[in-house]
Amino acid sequence: MKNLVLFGPPGAGKGTQSEKLISKYGFVHISTGDLFRWHTKNNTPLGQQVKEIMNSGALVPDAVTIAILREEVAKHPQAAGFLFDGFPRTVAQAEALDDLMKALGTAIHHVIALEVDEQELRKRIAKRRTLESRPDDEEEKLNKRITEYFNKTIHVLPYYEKQGRLVRINGVGTIDGIFAEICALLDKP
Ligand code: AMP
């Protein structure tokens, strides 16, 4: 079982690359953003709890996020491998993920950081706005999400770097070119 974290700021292409990786390798995809969106859309108690936070572009508290992640992982005892997308976003989440993987007798094998500069991110999200409506893609909220990324989430990178598990990939290029780079890494014996 190989487990992968796909890491990057909003608009880096995590969703696009996840889809391609899942169809090629059969990963179980766990996106905490998608899980939270499902809850808000269905107006569950958790959805009501996180809706305002998400709409503001801020991060949901660790305790809530870690709980939902554990619950989701537990639903897939037969998984050939997990692809974590949008998680971890804090060092506390990264530690919790390591503990969880260890308890399952496995580990996070690869952490891939898709690197895209801020100007390009804004350009991509402006384009995404014309295709789908996400309240947190609005200008002010997007600013908050980018700030959260550069203030909090980026600190997760040294956590993995120190352990030699981080690979940085240039997220500016063609979708297929970036995908090929990720595959080359995953296919290495
Ligand atoms: P995403 O689709 O991954 O950009 O997530 C959308 C929103 O969900 C984020 O802006 C946060 O409010 C919340 N969220 C998703 N994943 C996490 C996480 N790992 N930690 C905290 N908040 C999260």
150-163 pLDDT tens trace: 888 899 999 999 99
Q: Edge-to-edge, what's the strand order for the sheet holding 110-115?
A: 28-31, 82-85, 4-7, 110-115, 166-170
79-96 pLDDT tens trace: 989 999 999 999 999 999
Is the CB of 40 within 6 Å of ligand 1?
no
Give the pLDDT of residue 144.
Answer: 84
Query: Which atom of ligand 1 is closest in space to residue 145's alpha carbon?
Result: 10
Structure tokens at 146: 């980018």
Compute the distance from residue 135 Cα to the ligand 1 centre, in Å. Answer: 13
- Distance between terminal CA atoms of the chain? 13
2-61 pLDDT tens trace: 899 999 988 899 989 999 999 999 999 999 999 999 999 999 999 999 999 998 889 999
Largest CA distance in the chain: 45
- Identify the residue whose C-alpha is closest to ligand 1 atom 19: 87
Read off the DSSP letter of residue 119.
H
Among 89, 154, 155, residue to substitute to test ligand 1 (most atoms within 8 Å of Cβ): 89
Is the CB of 84 within 6 Å of ligand 1?
no
How does residue 136 score in pLDDT terms, banded at 50, 70 and 90?
low
Give the Å distances, CA to CA, from 39 to 2, 47, 63, 87, 88. 28, 4, 16, 17, 19
Round to whole Å and give the CA distance between 108 and 14: 17
Using DSSP's 3-state secondary structure scheme, residue 179 falls into helix
E strands, 48-123, are 82-85, 110-115
Compute the distance from residue 177 Cα to the ligand 1 centre, in Å. Answer: 27
**Percent of the chain at pLDDT above 90?**
71
Is the CB of 18 within 6 Å of ligand 1?
no
Give the pLDDT of residue 55.
Answer: 87
The answer to whether 89 is a known catalytic residue is yes
The answer to whether 145 is a known catalytic residue is yes
Phi/psi of residue 4, each to 5°?
Answer: -130, 140
Question: 189 and 30 in contact (C-beta within 8 Å)?
Answer: no
Residue range 99-116: mean pLDDT, rounded? 95
